[in-house]
């Protein structure tokens, strides 16, 4: 039996998506029925003639299905190459330095995250082409991701990139206007060689907390202080980015709106309010139904959901809530677990293995130097634990499927 909270979330999502999901399908006409014969059958035996063999039509080579292509690539990758597909490594937005280039070439991480301020769109395009070449393995290109939300959180600001207003300003626009503007911002990313925007923010910051909420409120990253305000803007942002063929990651599940500390700079950040069927989950559910490619998990501990584990290490939050309650079958990604203060006490290798064991897929490390350590830990754990090895394979399959769907994987 569903709880009241679950019903509220479902109802909220339905209301958010009602106007955006009108499909006007045209009925397909069925096959016409033709009589087996409209000419009387003759009883006269025709003259005997040599039997003619009809010309043989060449059988076309079948086009690989998405699943077939993914299976093919999965079999081609070594265990280490498979594990590397689950790591997103931080690199300079202005182009890889020598150390980052060596890591990308040696480890072949499945994703690259732009860190620090960047230059012009044309400079970024050249830098990202070089980064893509360095990280591509066996016809599999990397995700190239940026935090391009707007306001204080915008990596790419140089010539060729619009200065994006903060979410608090975007929230004053109509959904259509936001979707149109997001499409423009996405097109600029696409032209610059960036294929993923780690946005939008779906966190709900209560009005009573406001700027005391360091990760969202103080940085003007929130679309509103109620789920009903936030959800439609999340959907509009995703719609625009997808029209520009840029992937999105709704974040930071199950919400950073009720905490005070920023996990990038503080440890021991705890949410003592959010529940498993919380109403504030509605914007995340709306983002998932709108087709967000990824969902980002926070590093906060939620005492009313899983008091023993940070969200990124919680089977209850990832497997139970996100994959189970909300039915998300796509790629699950961490918030940064490389440089973030919140996870500094956890050995780097365990940050990767514990996340995948909990049901997650892509591990972000802002510190490129941790890439090899995390890949090695994933391989070692898979060799020791058959159940974990199966989970790792499932994660790689989800990543490769997304890449196939987004044109980053070629078969043949």
**CA–CA dist 41, 383 (Å, integer):** 72
pLDDT tens digits for range 258-283: 999 999 999 999 999 999 999 999 99
Report which of residues 63 and 86 the model is more confident about: 86
> 184: Cβ–Cβ under 8 A, 6 or more apart, which residues?
162, 240, 244
Cβ neighbours, 10 Å, residue 138: 13
Q: What percent of the chain has pLDDT over 90?
A: 82
pLDDT tens digits for range 214-237: 999 999 999 999 999 999 999 999
pLDDT score of 42: 37
Q: Is 159 exposed, middle or buried (0-12, 13-18, 19+ CB in 10 A)?
A: exposed
Residue where the block lists tokens 């399959």 = 397
Q: Which two tokens stand for residue 89?
A: 């490594």
Residue where the block lists tokens 């020791």 = 384
Mean pLDDT of 381-389: 98
pLDDT tens digits for range 61-84: 445 567 789 999 999 999 999 999
């Amino acid at each position: 039996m569903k709880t009241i909270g679950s019903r509220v979330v479902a109802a909220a999502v339905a209301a958010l998506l009602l106007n955006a999901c009108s499909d006007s399908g045209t009925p397909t006409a069925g096959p016409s029925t033709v009589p087996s014969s409209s000419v009387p059958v003759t009883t006269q035996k025709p003259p005997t003639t040599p039997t003619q063999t009809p010309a043989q039509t060449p059988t076309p080579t079948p086009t690989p299905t998405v699943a077939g292509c993914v299976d093919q690539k999965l079999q081609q990758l070594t265990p280490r190459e498979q594990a590397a597909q689950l790591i997103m490594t931080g690199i300079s937005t202005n182009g890889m330095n020598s150390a980052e280039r060596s890591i990308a070439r040696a480890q072949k991480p499945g994703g690259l995250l732009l860190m620090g301020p960047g230059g012009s769109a044309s400079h970024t395009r050249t830098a990202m082409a070089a980064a893509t070449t360095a990280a591509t393995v066996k016809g599999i290109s990397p995700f190239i991701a940026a935090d391009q939300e707007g306001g204080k959180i915008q990596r790419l600001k140089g010539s060729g990139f619009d200065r994006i207003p903060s979410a608090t300003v975007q929230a004053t626009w109509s959904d259509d206007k936001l979707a149109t503007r997001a499409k423009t911002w996405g097109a600029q990313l696409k032209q610059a060689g960036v294929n993923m925007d780690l946005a939008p923010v779906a966190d709900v910051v209560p009005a009573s907390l406001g700027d005391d909420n360091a990760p969202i409120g103080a940085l003007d990253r929130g679309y509103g202080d109620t789920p009903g305000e936030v959800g439609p803007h999340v959907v509009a942002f995703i719609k625009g980015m997808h029209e520009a063929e840029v992937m999105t990651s709704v974040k930071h599940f199950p919400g950073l709106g009720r905490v005070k500390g920023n996990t990038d700079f503080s440890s021991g950040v705890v949410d003592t309010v959010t529940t498993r069927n919380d109403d504030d989950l509605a914007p995340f559910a709306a983002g998932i139904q709108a087709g967000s490619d990824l969902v980002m998990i926070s590093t906060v501990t939620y005492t009313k959901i899983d008091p023993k584990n940070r969200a990124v290490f919680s089977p209850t939050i990832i497997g139970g809530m996100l994959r189970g309650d909300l039915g998300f079958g796509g790629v699950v990604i961490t918030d940064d677990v490389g440089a973030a203060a919140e996870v500094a006490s956890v050995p780097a290798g365990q940050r990767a293995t514990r996340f995948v064991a909990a049901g997650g897929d892509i591990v972000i490390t802002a510190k490129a130097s941790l890439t090899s350590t995390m890949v090695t830990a994933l391989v070692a754990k898979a060799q020791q634990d058959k159940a974990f090895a199966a989970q790792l394979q499932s994660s790689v399959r989800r990543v490769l499927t997304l890449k196939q769907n987004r044109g980053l994987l070629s078969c043949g």
